[in-house]
Amino acid sequence: MALIVHKYGGTSMGSVERIRNVARRIAKWHRAGHQMMVVPSAMAGETNRLLELAFSISAQPEPRELDMIAATGEQVSIGLLSLALKALGVCACSYAGWQVPIKTDGTFSKARIIEIDGARVRRDLEAGRIAVIAGFQGVDDANNITTLGRGGSDTSALALAAAFAADECLIYTDVDGVYTADPRIVDQARRLECITCEEMLEMASLGSKVLQTRSVEFAGKYRVKTRVLSSLSDPLMPLEDEMRSGTLMTFEEDQTMEQVVVSGIAHQRDEARIAVLSVPDTPGIAYQILGPVARAHIDIDMIVQNQSVEGRTDFTFTVARSDYARAMDILNASVKAQIGARQVIGDPQVSKVSVIGVGMRSHVGVARTMFRTLAEEGINIQMISTSEIKISVLIDEKYMELAVRALHKAFELERG
């Protein structure tokens, strides 16, 4: 008997029939003798509906009240899923975040989990009941409802798995695992049976959207055995098949990944590039440029600063395309004059393509293969950034699919 955590996304919970299917799957696991904790998201579209209501009342809604409103989506889900389980003859009990309690700090809309008190839930588990726990939400020291930010249900599931020392955390989603590239772009893309936590982290931060970045950090920190798999498969498929499906996140990288240099090609379409030209190359200049942008809650991704020439340099960075206009306004309105830059230019039609793999730490040839492949396709590289296990390039958006396909082929990812 193992302790298993299941997490189901909004699409899996999207209708009464889908909720029934989720219940059938959980009941199957439970009947196989496992202790079960389940974390469902709000029904698809529900969180947006609630937030739209809030924003139609106030253009700048108070985060505390937003969380009060948004948390109801998951509360409805846990009730419905518990009912569906009971209709199958399985004992289940729902928990709002504050009932567990899942204690967080007081940063509304982006709260961080501090502590989970497992006593009450553990009693339920030991009595053979399935604990159905609201994802995305918690409670702060002052008894306010908090939410963890978009995709926070993944974090809830992994935090619960860590707190209860669960044997495995299964993240059910609308894809059947992590692929070597987006299958909608690359026909030959292949599902990875396993992936290291660090690779998953790069995938998540690169917009592959399989798992929220913070939830992967959680899994890594507490070494939670985590599997990403499809909620669209037959809920009554044999358990042993299901336990081998999807993609498993691993922590013993050397053992499982010995042969593999590059695991996958990730991309992020909706990027925008901004360049502040000819700024004085003095200490603090990066802060003077990026500080006002960050204060407007605009996330900055790649940052590049050129070698300075005659005391002046160019400073380039990327933001999400949806933040482009606002970032340009901020720079042109005040920053440009303050720092004495010559010009602020930008391009909102760029995309990022990345080659990811823990194996590249010890292989120098990855960058060379990547740049040669793009050159052969006539694709100009606008920016480059690297980490230990990733090389990212910024290119014109219109070449993005071409770049992903060419790189997938160049690294022979279709072979496995």
Residues belonging to the binding site for ATP are 7-10, 173-174, 179, 184, 209-210
- What's the closest the beta carbon of residue 150 comes to a second copy, in angstroms? 18
- What's the closest the beta carbon of residue 43 comes to a second copy, in angstroms? 9
Q: Residues forming the annotated binding site? A: 7-10, 47, 74, 173-174, 179, 184, 209-210
SS3 label, residue 229: strand
- What's the closest the beta carbon of residue 87 comes to a second copy, in angstroms? 5
Q: Which is nearer to a second copy, 135 or 346 (CB)?
A: 135
Beta strand pairing call for 226-230 and 300-305: unpaired
SS3 label, residue 336: helix
Q: Which is nearer to a second copy, 127 or 364 (CB)?
A: 127
Q: Residues forming the annotated binding site for substrate? A: 47, 74
Q: Which is nearer to a second copy, 99 or 288 (CB)?
A: 99
Q: What is the dihedral of CA 42, 44, 49, 51, to 10 degrees?
A: 50
Q: Which residues of 154-191 are buried (b: 16+ CB within 10 A; e: fewer)?
A: bbbbbbbbbbbebebbbbbbebbbbbbbbeebbeebbe
Peptide bond connecting 101 to the previous residue in cis, omega within 30 degrees of 0: yes
Quick one: tokens of 296? 């407007």
The CA angle 51-72-13, to the nearest 5 degrees, is: 90
| Beta bridge pairs of residue 185 | none
- What's the closest the beta carbon of residue 51 comes to a second copy, in angstroms? 11
CA distance 232 to 279: 53
CA distance 1 to 231: 23
CA nearest to 4, candidates 222, 235, 224: 224
Quick one: tokens of 294? 């960050």
- What's the closest the beta carbon of residue 68 comes to a second copy, in angstroms? 4
Q: Which is nearer to a second copy, 90 or 204 (CB)?
A: 90
Q: Which is nearer to a second copy, 143 or 307 (CB)?
A: 143
* Phi and psi, residue 396, nearest 5°: -55, 135
- What's the closest the beta carbon of residue 214 comes to a second copy, in angstroms? 24
Q: Which is nearer to a second copy, 80 or 370 (CB)?
A: 80
Q: Which stretches of the chain bind a second copy, using CB under 8 A?
A: 16, 19-20, 50, 53-54, 56-58, 61-62, 64-66, 68-69, 71-72, 75-76, 78-80, 82-84, 86-87, 93-94, 96, 98-99, 120, 143-145
